[in-house]
Amino acid sequence: MDVTQIIWFILLGILGGIANVIISAESWDDLKKFSAFKRTVIGAIVGFLYKFLYSDYGFPNFVMAFVAGYMGTDFLLAVIEKFKKK
């Protein structure tokens, strides 16, 4: 297992999570909240998981790791909120 590949996918997931935080922030203070940190960590986790689910190593999967880090945070947080209500 190549550690550099894992690190690349985690970093791309983090970047996707950060992009999600920046786009969804309504003010500068929103960037300093714990929820912003949580979304970034979830992006890293999604990037790590994507590394083990992709079909080939290369450019399209780097882009998809970023997208998964961006979109996966909303999906996972929605699932968590749904289970909290029950």
Angle at 72 between CA 68 and CA 76, to 5 degrees: 160
- In degrees, to the nearest 5, what angle opens at C-alpha 54 toward C-alphas 13 and 10? 20
pLDDT at 57: 63
Q: Domain boundaries in the chain?
A: 3-85
Q: At what angle do helices 3-24 and 59-85 cross, to 10 degrees?
A: 60
Distance from C-alpha of 65 to C-alpha of 54, rounded to nearest angstrom: 9
In 10 A of CB 50, how many CB atoms? 23
User: pTM of the entire structure?
Assistant: 0.76
Query: What pLDDT shows up at residue 70?
Result: 83
Predicted confidence at residue 56, as pLDDT, reads 63
pLDDT in tens, 18-74: 998 888 888 888 888 888 898 899 889 888 888 887 766 667 777 888 888 888 878
